[in-house]
Structure 1
Amino acid sequence: MTPPLLSKALLERLFVAASIRRWNDQACPIEFSELDKQAHKAMVVVLLAKHHVGVDWDKLLSYFCFEFLSRVVLTDIKPPIHYKLLEKHRIDLAAYVWGVLEPEVRGYGLFLALQDYFCNPPKDLESQLLKAAHDYVSAWEFGFIYRFYPKGYGVQDIQDSLEKSLAKHAPILEKVAHLELLASMFGQLRFQKRWSQTPRVPPTSVLGHALFVAFCAFLLSFDLKACRQMRLNHFLGGLLHDLPEVLTRDIISPIKHGVKGLESHLKDLEAEVMQEHIWRYLDADLAQDLRYFTEKEFDDRYIDPTTKEVKSLESNTALWECFNEDRFNGVSGRLLKFCDQLSAFLEAKISIAHGIKSDVLVHGAKKIQQKCQSTFLQGVHLGALFGEFA
């Protein structure tokens, strides 16, 4: 049995993003974190990509990972200064980012292209979609600041610049009907905090948590030798697994599991409200596609290529032995559940390491570790990740 390549340092890097405050030189009515920005951007770019033909999803997710990690390394540089520095020091900055990240991502081949990506920025469809999503979410954030303090120094200039950027992206953005409604709805998950019953540092939102699960599931898919489509599905499944909480809010596990029949009834209610408030704004095919990632989210499952029916699997090995091919559109719900638990564990442990601890955090982390530290999948000892933080 081998441990995964996913490193403790990279996991901690993701939580650094939760501590980075955006727009920290402006009068903000609420706090915006870099982790939430990247998660919101991921949600929006998925919507944009689903409305464009010919998207290379491998490229799109690789580009997203490159930009996410690099922004965590360089995010203290204000955007106007960042862009000016890139004009003369792009190669040096790319080398610096790679020097910081290389020890943390070592072993995952997709990151070997990271430095070249920044030295020679692509101008393909995937990079255009990411840029559009990036600017759209930045404008969404800045809208709060602009309405709160429109006469602040530089505020109007930033607003004008963002409006010009959105105008340039109009051909991409306009393809998504109800984009403003959907993006704002997804953005609500930025306001819902995890572990809401106890203080915690850094506080993380449901949306930030979803990106953490997506990122880990995507990378661990390489360890597990998942096929291309399953890797992509694991990112989407992680990103969307808590989407119903936009409408139900987070119901903590002790209540879910402690009240007989509540969990199954909650699933029925989630399906109803998702249909009423989200799916009806999407075309039928897209709604069905995204529904695949929000219903039975922790089941191992695949789509029958002939009947197009979703099939859940009880066996721990059936998905990997029989359906690990692109044509089956498989999802390892067990992997997503593991990453969900890993995220909750680290949310508690990292807060404790910062000196903010409570009985809820201590007992919660201990319980999750006891439950998950012996997890194996495809010969990979996933549970070894818990030992890194013991």
Structure 2
Amino acid sequence: MISRSLIELIFSSSSIERWNDHPRPVQFTEMAKQAHKFIIAYVIGRDEEDRGVNVDWQSLIEGSIFEFLHRVVVTDIKPPIFHRLMADKTQRDQLNRWVMKKLTPLLAPIPGNLIDRWEHYFLSDNRERQERKYLQAAHYLATKWEFDFICLWSTPIYRIESTKDEIYRQVMEHMDIQAVRKIVQDEGLAGFISLVGQLRFQKRWAQTPRIPQTSVLGHLLFVAILSWLVVYELGGCDRRLYNAFYGGLFHDLPEVLTRDIVSPVKRSVEGLEQMIKDLEMEAISQEVLPLIPTSWHDEILSFVKDEFENRIKREDGTRLILPGDLTEDHDKDHLDPIDGKVIEGCDKLTAFIEASESIRIGIKSGELFDGKRNIYEKYYNKTLNGYPIGILFDYFR
């Protein structure tokens, strides 16, 4: 089962600052950067599919998560040194085996041979797989997006131009991928990537101090990984896993346009929460969908509309909201099942952890205590779609 230690490792990326030896307009964290990378990788994958390329989405998702965990473990190694180590096969294998030793106690308890899949990803000779190239391209594009802010503040920094040239060189090496060209040449996809990136600047729990302060974009990654892990433990089919991951990764996308409105405010006036939902869908239709291909619209809407409801796809392609749990009868690729209740549970779990960690450190605000208590009362003994998610809340009680 998912352990407290694994969840804490994931959450620790909220405290890992990037570019901490450069002046920055805001704090850039590893969690938010990785979230941006994952979304860019999705954009690349979908664009490749539109060109007729067969994308192995499970490989792309697993690779995203594995590379993220790897980077968190080796966070003390500065990127230039890290990339040099990974370029040499002997040094790369030694580093990978050391990381695997650290991660084995965290991944081995999860059913489904996840640790074996991690070992195969990093220690087998499959570095030429196209999904790895998509992730590498996404990594450099997310880094470039950050650096374009850093560069404006860092003109006097020694060798800043060399850093810029190296980042741009790495991006240019992936210009054979059509989506990369579109993003670099500032076409529609570039606008979508930039819009999503703005979720780095929106803070969670904005009404109270917290440590670490987390962004909406980083929160999306946290929810996505936890949702995927839960469904992976349940033995979900490929589409169910796909939807758990990307449903978690996009569930708060409307907040790039409406900002994070806390639950007490939404529920303060009867009907206000639904009005906000309607405005969010209107904003998505007017501001987000025009930036991406029409062929993606239905899927993006399926991730942000009724995002916390269990649902499957009917024969006519429309979505059916399930009144109860998503069961084995729904666990079929052609039904395109989405574990909305699991995504909601993981969304609340991340908020619970954020409040718990801040309280543990010594921030004693009433908002944090109230939020933690209210969430725990709802989930402490909860089972969602057959998964005892209440156990995960007990870890941080």
- TM-score normalized by the length of structure 2: 0.93
- Trace 1:231-250 onto structure 2 (pairs within 5 A): 231-250=241-260
Match of 1:101 in 2: 103
Q: Give yes or no for contact 1:186–1:246 (8 Å, CA) kept in 2.
A: yes
1:178 to 181, 185, 188: 188
Tell me the distance in 2 between the aligned counterparts of 1:39 and 1:283: 21
Match of 2:221 in 1: 211
Q: Give yes or no for contact 1:214–1:238 (8 Å, CA) kept in 2.
A: yes
In structure 1, give the amino acid aligned to 2:390: G
State whether structure 2 residue 331 is matched by structure 1 residue 299. no
Match of 1:159 in 2: 164
Match of 1:382 in 2: 389
Match of 1:328 in 2: 335
Q: Give yes or no for contact 1:73–1:97 (8 Å, CA) kept in 2.
A: yes
Match of 1:15 in 2: 11
**Secondary structure of the corresponding residue to residue 302 of structure 1:** strand
Tell me the distance in 1 between the aligned counterparts of 2:34 and 2:262: 25
Change (3 A) 1:98 1:364: same
**Secondary structure of the corresponding residue to residue 331 of structure 1:** coil
In structure 1, give the amino acid aligned to 2:114: L
- Trace 1:72-87 onto structure 2 (pairs within 5 A): 72-86=72-86, 87=88
- Structure 2 residue runs without a partner (length 5+): none
Q: Give yes or no for contact 2:182–2:188 (8 Å, CA) kept in 1.
A: no
Taking CA–CA contacts closer than 8 Å with sequence separation of 6 or more, which of the two structures ends up with the larger relative contact order? 1
1:40 to 25, 36, 49: 36
- Trace 1:186-265 onto structure 2 (pairs within 5 A): 186-265=196-275
> Which range moved further: 199-208 or 172-181?
172-181
Tell me the distance in 2 between the aligned counterparts of 1:377 and 1:29: 41
Match of 1:127 in 2: 132
- Trace 1:274-313 onto structure 2 (pairs within 5 A): 274-304=284-314, 306-313=315-322
Change (3 A) 1:111 1:61: farther
Tell me the distance in 2 between the aligned counterparts of 1:217 and 1:292: 16
Q: Give yes or no for contact 1:51–1:175 (8 Å, CA) kept in 2.
A: no
Tell me the distance in 1 between the aligned counterparts of 2:138 and 2:287: 22
Deviation (angstroms), 1:200:
0.5
- Trace 1:296-375 onto structure 2 (pairs within 5 A): 296-304=306-314, 306-314=315-323, 316-317=324-325, 319-375=326-382
Deviation (angstroms), 1:225:
2.6
1:28 to 11, 24, 27: 24
Match of 2:154 in 1: 149
> Which range moved further: 373-382 or 15-24?
373-382
User: 1:127-148 CA distances to partner (integer Å, 9 max, x unpaired)?
Assistant: 0100000000100101111112
1:51 to 47, 56, 65: 47
- TM-score normalized by the length of structure 1: 0.95
Deviation (angstroms), 1:92:
1.7
1:90 to 86, 89, 92: 92
Tell me the distance in 2 between the aligned counterparts of 1:308 and 1:209: 30
Tell me the distance in 2 between the aligned counterparts of 1:92 and 1:300: 43
Tell me the distance in 1 between the aligned counterparts of 2:80 and 2:368: 40
User: 1:210-234 CA distances to partner (integer Å, 9 max, x unpaired)?
Assistant: 1111000000002223222111100
Tell me the distance in 1 between the aligned counterparts of 2:94 and 2:199: 37
Q: How many residues align?
A: 383
In structure 2, give the amino acid aligned to 1:58: Q
Q: Give yes or no for contact 2:223–2:343 (8 Å, CA) kept in 1.
A: yes
1:111 to 106, 115, 122: 115
User: 1:230-289 CA distances to partner (integer Å, 9 max, x unpaired)?
Assistant: 111000000000000000001100011221111111111111111111101222221111
Deviation (angstroms), 1:121:
5.2
In structure 1, give the amino acid aligned to 2:100: W
Tell me the distance in 1 between the aligned counterparts of 2:10 and 2:206: 20
Q: Give yes or no for contact 1:224–1:377 (8 Å, CA) kept in 2.
A: no
**Secondary structure of the corresponding residue to residue 303 of structure 2:** coil
Q: Give yes or no for contact 1:178–1:281 (8 Å, CA) kept in 2.
A: yes
> Which range moved further: 378-387 or 228-237?
378-387
Tell me the distance in 2 between the aligned counterparts of 1:380 and 1:239: 20
**Secondary structure of the corresponding residue to residue 176 of structure 2:** helix
Tell me the distance in 1 between the aligned counterparts of 2:362 and 2:64: 32
> Which range moved further: 74-83 or 132-141?
74-83
Q: Give yes or no for contact 1:244–1:274 (8 Å, CA) kept in 2.
A: yes
User: 1:142-191 CA distances to partner (integer Å, 9 max, x unpaired)?
Assistant: 11111122231121001001111111112321256422211110011111
Match of 2:66 in 1: 66
Q: Give yes or no for contact 2:230–2:387 (8 Å, CA) kept in 1.
A: no
